[in-house]
Chains A and B, each alone.
Chain A
Amino acid sequence: SQQGEEDPQALSIQEGENATMNCSYKTSINNLQWYRQNSGRGLVHLILIRSNEREKHSGRLRVTLDTSKKSSSLLITASRAADTASYFCAPWGDSGAGSYQLTFGKGTKLSVIP
Chain B
Amino acid sequence: DGGITQSPKYLFRKEGQNVTLSCEQNLNHDAMYWYRQDPGQGLRLIYYSQIVNDFQKGDIAEGYSVSREKKESFPLTVTSAQKNPTAFYLCASTAWRPGQNTEAFFGQGTRLTVV
Chain A residues packing against B (C-beta within 8 Å): 1, 30-31, 33, 35, 40-45, 48, 88, 90, 92, 94, 99-107
Contact = CB atoms under 8 A, between A and B. Distances in A.
Contact of B98 (A30, A40, A99): A30
A35 B102 contact: no
Contact of A90 (B6, B104, B109, B111): B104
A41 B101 contact: no
Contacts of B35: 104
Given A42-B90, A88-B43, A105-B42, A100 B103 contact: no
Nearest to B104: A102
A106 B59 contact: no
Nearest to B59: A1
Given A31-B102, A33-B102, 5 more contacts: A40-B88, A42-B107, A45-B104, A99-B56, A102-B104
Q: In terms of DSSP, what is the predominant structure of the interface of chain B? A: strand
Nearest to B105: A45
Interface of A is mostly: loop
Contacts of A99: 50, 56
Contacts of B98: 30, 94
Contacts of B102: 30-31, 33, 48, 92, 100, 102
Interface residues of B, number: 29
Contacts of B101: 48
A22 to B, nearest CB: 15
Given A30-B102, A33-B102, A35-B104, A43 B92 contact: yes
Nearest to A43: B106
B53 interface: no
Contacts of A94: 98
A103 B56 CA distance: 13
A103 B42 CA distance: 10
Closest 8 CB pairs of A and B: A42-B106, A106-B42, A104-B43, A43-B106, A100-B96, A45-B103, A42-B108, A92-B102
